[in-house]
Structure 1
Amino acid sequence: MDFSSQFTVIPLPFPNLSNNSDYQNESPASCYLVKLSNSINILCDCPLDLKQAYSINIEMDSSALVPSQHNMITDWSYGPQTIDLNAYVTKPRDSTYSLFPWIILPKWDLVDFGTLDYILVSNHHLITALPYITEYTNFKGQVLATSPIKHFARWLLFDLIANIPKHPIDAEKLDELGIDYINNFNHIHTPFTTNDIEECLSKVTWVAFNQRIPMSSHDLEDYFEAFSSGFQIGASNWLINTTNAKVI
């Protein structure tokens, strides 16, 4: 049997914002879109790229940069705001700069969240972008994760938004770092809010190991099942089982 006709797996890497290998992501494919022949669409994990974000933030931390008096991100309670970097890169060196915290999302250009049926989460490190999906897209599907992931993820996400730095945008500094801000600003966002986190986690269906989750009430042969990966408490390897194929 040609299993390639039963499912399609599409890796969704992070954008490399810089040609400098120091800022490039070490795991370019931590997120996958799986399309099954029964028209079920699944997103496997949804992480943020914290390595690039923190590496670039550290480099941007300079006392020579002048914070803006009209900071666009003074209040995060209104949720994430995508910043169009094109509005700032042409400013001269002595201009006023706006503060900008770096949060980098995977390349989700191929994902239609409105037709996405499931999100499977493997561990709490790979759930960090979920608030963007549940709170700021038209995703109406189901999110599956083990119960320990919920508790670890909650504290990880709160720590993330509490500690991520905010630094001014500086065109010359971005050029110096070799950051391709023109082609990648759609993947750069401001952090989500504490309310986003609570709302997001309330929408997750918590499952146990070896519990079969049917994809449809009409066909019990198509199901998901989580097995302990041994990586950390609650971490799992997912089995996607259909009538004609199995994907792990």
Structure 2
Amino acid sequence: MPAFNEVETVGRCLAALRRQSVAPFEVIVVDNMSTDGTLEHARALATVDPSVTVITQTGAQGLVPTRDCGFDAARGDVLARIDADTVVSADWVRQLALSFARPGIAATTGPVGYYDLPLATVMRQVDDFARRAITTICGAPFLYGSNMALRRSAWRSIRSSVCSDPDDLFHEDIDLAVHLAQHGLPIGYTPRMVATVSARRMGDSAAEFADYTRRFDRTLDAHGVRHASLRVTGALLRRAYPVLHHAHRYEVRRAAAA
């Protein structure tokens, strides 16, 4: 779990992992030079949960080096990856484990809902439909960083080739997926491996959100990937921005008034 200034979300994320029907082998929080007390809060939570380890990544600011630090530190045969604002379903670890019982699967990802948008269940169903469609049309190569896992052996195969992205221009999860595909390592989709995340990105300005969605094109262009359906995602999100932005603002106001 990479974390940068996530003091308000890391506790909820860890609480969901404690409620699993099958306990995770280990949980690693990787703090990336937080300034809001995230590191101290995570360490305090780890004192009451022996499965949690908190480490720091101070070599560089950014998601990619922080993610890599966590993957390299993990001891399991399967390396799961979520964000500090992710809240996984109660059987998430079990479903993840079942997905890797399928022979030949090197990585997998699941659907994502948004716990701070109206009609959260409907939104998750739409997300699930879209990801199934992309998997069918493209045959992969996509992952969602807030809800994914890969085999340790697969990570070792691509470790030296994944993009470091020092200018923070790419979607690091799409980059991972492309490199897995280039190495002939199959990516699966596990619809019952459900997670929810914050829709706080919808609170960005229109210009900020548009630049964020263009990460899809920048990542695919850098790797020479031409799948049109993968590019549709960014275009659809840009068109949906006004509705999602107002829905997020409504939910924030409603939560504040409750």
Scaled by the length of structure 1, the TM-score of the pair is 0.29
Greater share of strand residues, 1 or 2? 1
Greater share of helix residues, 1 or 2? 2
Scaled by the length of structure 2, the TM-score of the pair is 0.29
